[in-house]
Amino acid sequence: MSGTVEEALLTRRSCRAFRADPVPRAQVERLLALAARSASNSNCQPWQVHVLTGAAKRALTEDLLRAHDEGARSAGEFAYQPGADQWPEPFRGRRRRFGDGLYREALGIAPGDTAGRTGHHRRNYDFFGAPVGLVLTVSRLPLQGALVDAGVFLQGLMLAARGAGLHTCAQASLLDYHPVLRRHLRVPGDHVIVCGVALGHADEDHRLNDHRTPREPVTSFASFYDDGR
């Protein structure tokens, strides 16, 4: 795929089912070089990316799944979002609708089917079958402004991937097991973990890849100021 930024934005989605087809290292490096063109405050570029494939990814996945199954969830080392039961409206409602769409509509998992939901959630820790798993970290020294820079970098990476015909899924779920990530990755001491990213070719035959999430209309979030006030 090679198209416009508009096409990349319109076709980008959080892909939760990938084919095992490998993505060449040279292509990953090219995507990261493109994402590094992203803006950052005073050009600080506070991000680092840890790329896992092959045996390294399998070893991390095994440890993440073990920690998940043993209930070894950790408190966030740098909490930048509320706990699951602490989201205010309208965000709580949007999260609920997202969960209903993903589990009940796309996967056919009933609200009370805890085992079914847990089974799907575990797939996060194998990066949904993607051949490439990335972990994005950012220096804490520029304070929370670095999270803005990390978000801009992440968006650049996801759009660059779409331009190359690939798909991604950003994964905050990995933060629950940040000690496991630190055991496997050379994360600098001043860095905090922002999220994981699954990268690869979408499995278009999987039912999950028919699922699309809605977006709020411009009128719900934009205010325009002009000569007429």
Q: What pLDDT score was predicted for residue 28?
A: 98
184, part of any domain? yes
204, part of any domain? yes
Q: Domain range for residue 51?
A: 5-77+124-212
Confidence of residue 121 (pLDDT cuts 50, 70, 90): confident
84, part of any domain? no
**Number of structural domains found in the chain:** 1
Q: Which range is least confidently modeled, 34-48, 108-122, 151-165?
A: 108-122
149, part of any domain? yes
99, part of any domain? no
Confidence of residue 97 (pLDDT cuts 50, 70, 90): confident
102, part of any domain? no
133, part of any domain? yes
Confidence of residue 74 (pLDDT cuts 50, 70, 90): confident
225, part of any domain? no
Residues 39 and 22: their CA atoms lie apart, in Å, by: 30
CATH of the domain at 177: 3.40.109.10
pLDDT at position 34 over 80: yes
pLDDT at position 95 over 90: no
pTM: 0.91
In which element (H, E) is residue 121 found? helix 114-122
Hunting for tokens 């804490």 — which residue is that? 140
